[in-house]
Structure 1
Amino acid sequence: MKKETFLAIFLGVVFGFIFALIILGSISQSQLGKKTKSLLPQKKEPSILPTKPTSLKFLNITNPKNFLIIENDNVTIEGEVEKNSLIVIQSPIKDLVFQNKEEKFKVDFPLALGENVIKIVSYPQNRNLKTQEKTLFIYYLPNEI
């Protein structure tokens, strides 16, 4: 019984393989005579270029410096970013979302006692540009603990 089962499986695989080769051969021969369509456009249209070169502003945090130890329970975050970007500032105690009107921004942000991991993300108005992200580690350690 084992020999018959093995022979049936073997013949089934061989005939299936031969049948697949015949089908693939006939399909490829029929496609050789036809023209294939390209998904890419055939004629190139001129692209629209800006009239003046634009300078891209990357997210740059000017204040505070990373790994800063301060004695106040809030910090002023200052930075530069692309104009009209959506800025999201997140920490464990507060989330702040605003849109800057100018390239520079300045905002007061509260701190928790100890280590504060502050994540700042900039979403440019131009959706072709990538989002930018910075993480600050600020330590709030008052003198009187």
Structure 2
Amino acid sequence: MSKKIFVSLPVADVKASTAFYESLGFKNNPTFASETAAGMVWSEEINFMLLSREKWQTMTTRPIPPSTSSEVMLALSLDSREAVDAMAAAAAANGGIADINPVEDHGFMYTRDLADPDGHAVGAMWMDVSAMPSGDMAD
């Protein structure tokens, strides 16, 4: 098996969260679908597992963070600035929140941060690596 990423997220409503992620461009993998879970495919290597809170709690005893916290930001790369804007619009129209942080436009990179219906942070981003300035981008 090649290296893959499976991001598991606790959700209040599996069906509503499935519809939300489908609106962002994810594909539902019926192999991992049940009343308590949905496997959502972003690419061959990246998958989100949406787990009911009850299912989540069978996997860990750690508490589910409140929807206002920021435990992690998951950035999804897109093909254009327009695709970033379309994802933000889809998020807002399907139970999420667009622009939970200020929009960032660095010329070569454009990002908009979203929240899903459970408050999980998702970054929509486009980057033109060929236009990236030299130097340390971590600053």
| TM-score normalised according to structure 2 size | 0.29
Which of 1 and 2 has greater Rg?
1
